[in-house]
Structure 1
Amino acid sequence: MRAAVLNKFGAPLTVQEVPEPLAGGGEAVVEVLAACVPPYADEVFGGRRNYPLEPPVVPGPGGVGRVVGVGPDATRLRIGDLVWVDPTVRSRDDTLTPDITLQGWSSRGEGGARLARHLHDGSFAELMRAPTENVHPLPAEAEQDLTLWSALGVYVIPYGGLLAGGLEAGETLLVSGATGNLGSAAVAVALAMGAGRVITPGRNRIVLDLLADRFGSRVRPVELTGDQAADVAAMSAAAEGPIDMVIDLLPPAAPSSAARTAAMTVREYGRVVLMGGVGMLGGADLALPYPWIMRNSVTVRGQWMYPRSANTGMIRLLASGALDLGAERVRTFPLDAVNDAVEHAAAHGGPFHRTVLTPSGG
């Protein structure tokens, strides 16, 4: 089969012939029809994000495809099923603290690296092998636009953070990093989950207006100034009441001060979920004040990716129409143009822009 291979960091991907994967026990093989290219893929492949990929590797975090083979222990999946392949793979020998790898993308710790060596290759290929539990059937309506449904991999990430924070219908949420790719997705998902108001701070007035125009009065944009006291006051005023939860999805280049300012708008007994990349490139620590957290009984938690059940929840939100993908701006590329796709993704990383690779011509 043909696949896009990262042979070394800093070099373009090479489309070449590689052995076809076979499904063993607890595994499935999927023909990849559509896979989103993250906006920061060029930073990963160039080595600037220092992700623990081990070349040569077929990259690509998940995708939409069709089952072409299953292991002997599969009881529900059938050859020909249209599916979403979740890249978040967990080890099976420790249910309390499983090792995690993002198949074809990243991993956590030595255990995650070992898992990545077994499930080494991702979705930038005609075929990929994945654990059976990571292969999720899609509804019939997904057939109408497979490239749109591949955006599921973007939306399920902030959905995992909103689930972790226990977002409830009618609550007020503040999305730190709302003008970015994942942050804007968090706004859309929170509204689909029934959030009463979503505060969207940022410096890009054009994007803030875009969010307000798309989602209406439940979105409250706030243009940030960099003055912590003024920004906290502006965000709090926009909420017109207590802010129940803050989710941070700022990128690695963002200063920790921006994340801290947003977090400190949350009400007493509120929740703060950290999912972004702040600090990954060095710089000052988040440094939330101990007395403020303690005296206000604030819950602060980190969340990397999402639980497996979030895939089912996201599929339901999409199938029901509660989360509408109609405003997505999608550009597709064939496998042979994978490097063009990576370049396009880097240049179009704003809200609701999707760059999609179609390895099998889907």
Structure 2
Amino acid sequence: MRAAVLTEFGAPLTVQEMPDPVAGGGEVVVQVLAGCVPPYAEEVFNGRRNYPLEPPVVPGTGGVGRIVSIGPDATRLRVGDLVWCDCTVRSRDDALTPDITLQGWSSRGDGGARLARHLHDGSFAELMRVPTENVYALPTEAEGDPARWSSLGVYVIPYGGLLAGGLEAGETLLVSGATGNLGSAAVATALAMGAGRVVTPGRNRAVLDLLADRFGPRVRPVQLTGDEDADRTAMSAAAGGPIDMVIDLLPPAAPSSAARAAAMTVREYGRVVLMGGVGMLGGADLALPYPWIMRNSVTVRGQWMYPRSANVGMIRLVASGALDLNAEWVRTFPLDAVNDAVEYAAAHGGPFDRTVLAPPAN
């Protein structure tokens, strides 16, 4: 097979011939049809994000594919099935606190690193070996546009955070980082789940207007100024009532003050879910006040990625039409143009803008 390989941090990816992967017990091999290229991929490959990848490695964050072989323990999947491949791989020997690796992308701790060495390569390839439990059958409507359905990898991340926070129909949600790639996906997903109102703070007026135009009056945009107190007041006022939940999806370069201002808009007994990258590149800590959390009975929790069940829920949301992918801007690149795809993704990381690597010839 052919695959795009990161040979060292700071070097361009190179397309190489590699041995075809072989499915062992508990594994499936898929022909990769489409996989999203994250807007921050360039920062991973040049080493700026300091991800624990071990070159040489085939990167990639899952995608849509077609099964070409299965291990002996698969009972429902069949060769030829169109499937979604989730990159979030969990160890099988600890049900309570499993080690986690993002196949072909990142990992957590020593256990995650060991898991990453076994499932080393991701979706920037013609073929990919995936754990059986990470493969999900897609509905027939996905057959016509695998590239568009590869956006599942974007939406399922904030969906995991919304599930972690227990978002309920009719509630008011504030999305911190709403004008970004993941934040805008959180807005769309929350509305598909039945959120009554979604407060969308950000600095980019054009993107705020785009969100309001696309989703209507349930979206409450707020233009941020950088003044923490003033921004908190403006966000609270825009909600038109109590804010039940805040989800933070700000990128690593964002100041902690922006995340704190958003979090502290939540009502008494409200929930705050932290999923962004604030502090990952250094800088001040989030520093939420202890008395505020305690006296207001606020629940603050972190959420890295999502549970396995989120994949099923997200596929259902899209298949039902509750979450519409037709408004996505999708630009596909063949495998040979992988470096062009990475460069394009970095320049097109706005709301509903997807860069997709499609290994078969376009």
Please, what TM-score do these two structures have when normalized by structure 2? Answer: 0.99
Pairing 1:221–2:215 present: no
Q: Secondary structure at the match of 1:354?
A: strand
Letter in 1 for 2:291: P
CA contact (8 A) 1:58 1:123 kept: yes
Letter in 2 for 1:335: L
- Give the unaligned 5+ runs of structure 2: none
Counterpart CA distance in 1 for 2:153 and 2:174 is: 22
Q: Matches of residues 64-75 of structure 1 in structure 2 within 5 Å?
A: 64-75=64-75
Q: In the alignment, what sits opposite 2:359?
A: 359
Q: How many residues align?
A: 362
Pairing 1:47–2:47 present: yes
Q: Matches of residues 145-164 of structure 1 in structure 2 within 5 Å?
A: 145-164=145-164
CA contact (8 A) 1:33 1:361 kept: no
Counterpart CA distance in 2 for 1:29 and 1:89 is: 15
Q: In the alignment, what sits opposite 1:198?
A: 198
Q: In the alignment, what sits opposite 1:13?
A: 13
Q: Secondary structure at the match of 1:233?
A: helix
Q: In the alignment, what sits opposite 1:209?
A: 209
Counterpart CA distance in 1 for 2:18 and 2:5 is: 9
Q: Secondary structure at the match of 1:154?
A: helix
Moved over 2 A (4+): none
Counterpart CA distance in 2 for 1:323 and 1:311 is: 14
Deviations 1:264-319 (A, max 9, x none): 00000000000000000000000000000000000000000000000000000000
Q: Matches of residues 34-113 of structure 1 in structure 2 within 5 Å?
A: 34-113=34-113
Counterpart CA distance in 1 for 2:265 and 2:165 is: 15
Q: In the alignment, what sits opposite 2:283?
A: 283
CA contact (8 A) 1:84 1:137 kept: yes
CA contact (8 A) 1:31 1:360 kept: no
Q: In the alignment, what sits opposite 2:188?
A: 188
Q: In the alignment, what sits opposite 1:330?
A: 330
Letter in 1 for 2:272: V
Deviations 1:217-272 (A, max 9, x none): 00000001111221111111111100000000000000000000000000000000
Q: CA RMSD in A?
A: 0.6
- Give the unaligned 5+ runs of structure 1: none
Counterpart CA distance in 2 for 1:19 and 1:36 is: 23
Letter in 2 for 1:31: Q
Letter in 2 for 1:86: D
Letter in 1 for 2:339: N
Deviations 1:117-142 (A, max 9, x none): 00000000000000000000000000
Q: Secondary structure at the match of 1:147?
A: helix
1:360 CA displacement? 2.5
Counterpart CA distance in 2 for 1:236 and 1:180 is: 21
Counterpart CA distance in 2 for 1:324 and 1:361 is: 27
Counterpart CA distance in 2 for 1:157 and 1:361 is: 29
CA contact (8 A) 1:175 1:248 kept: yes
Q: Secondary structure at the match of 1:259?
A: helix
Identical residues among aligned pairs (%):
86
Letter in 1 for 2:275: M
1:361 CA displacement? 3.3
Letter in 1 for 2:85: V
